[in-house]
Amino acid sequence: MKMRMSLVPILTGFLFLLISAESCLSARGVIQLNDPESQKIVLARIGDTPVTVKELVDFAKSSPTFYGFLQIPGGPDKLLKELVMEKLLLLEGKDMKIPEPAGGNESAYLLKVKKELLPPPPPINEKEARKYYETHLEEFSTPLLLHLSQVKVYFTEKTRKQAWNRIKKALYELEKGVPFEQVAEKYSEEPISRSRGGDIGFVPSTSLEPDEVREKILKLKKGQVSDILTIGNSFTIVKLKNRREPIADPFDRVKDLAFQKAQQAKQKEQLERLRQRLEKKWHVVYVNVP
């Protein structure tokens, strides 16, 4: 049985939260990546072999692009899956006795194994491209923009109780009718939005994470305030001030893009099926971070 959790469930936006590259967030708070004890935490297992925080950080440091994943919402989750997939491809390649290239270049070997396991999918036809367009209309539209304000209180494992009490006081005042701007200036700990009475401007709905947070915010009516949301290492209250509805481009104008995206989606599905097959074969378990 697989246990999957989000390493960094964060509500993003232009001013929502910046994550330090020196830390990653678990369900219970901040994991300090430079702390020797935190680096021993097991994030996944491949059979009996653990995959630790240290391995994830070392993997991130192997590439400037990968290292950036430690700093973006949902990044560590994606990075962990990439790390596990690389390990699975190496195992599968050796199991299939695919010969290693001269010089033992691991990157070249990974590409060779992946090419062997993932033949190119057939080209997309116009019917498939149009179907993709119709079922993913938001990708061919201006985004739904939400004008939001926030009250944000940060926490660590040690300060979680105090942070909860602080955000509860903020919610109590809002329920009593105190203007949102005053409550944000009094209680919010995010300095930029606090200086604006909690206002963070218009945020694309696609940038709201995780999914359950996005769903709750999308259900808000204009002027309505959310309940307390746990977003990464913060307790956050959000107010929907306004919204700008998306405007879709006609298919003929974005036809080439629809073909491209439909082809990429097919390749992604193919890769995901391979991932699931290899995870099952090699007994991968994603472990909840303590």
Residue 207 lies in a domain: yes
Measured from the Cβ of residue 121, the count of other Cβ atoms closer than 10 Å reads 12
Residue 86 lies in a domain: no
How many folded domains does the chain comprise? 1
Residue 32 to residue 28: CA distance in whole angstroms? 12
Residue 124 lies in a domain: no
Name the residue type at position 48: D
Residue 119 lies in a domain: no
Average pLDDT value for the chain: 84
Q: What token pair was written down for 212?
A: 């359950």
Residue 216 to residue 240: CA distance in whole angstroms? 11
Residue 273 to residue 141: CA distance in whole angstroms? 29
Q: Using 50, 70 and 90 to split pLDDT, how confident is the model at 92?
A: very high
Residue 240 lies in a domain: yes
Residue 146 lies in a domain: yes
Q: Which residue segment(s) compose the domain that 233 sits in?
A: 142-244
pLDDT digits (tens, 9 = 90+) for 137-181: 888 998 899 999 999 999 988 899 999 999 999 999 999 999 999
Residue 198 lies in a domain: yes
**With 90 as the cut, is the pLDDT of residue 36 above it?**
no
**In CATH, what number is assigned to the domain containing residue 209?**
3.10.50.40
Residue 239 lies in a domain: yes
Work out the average pLDDT over 14-26. Answer: 37
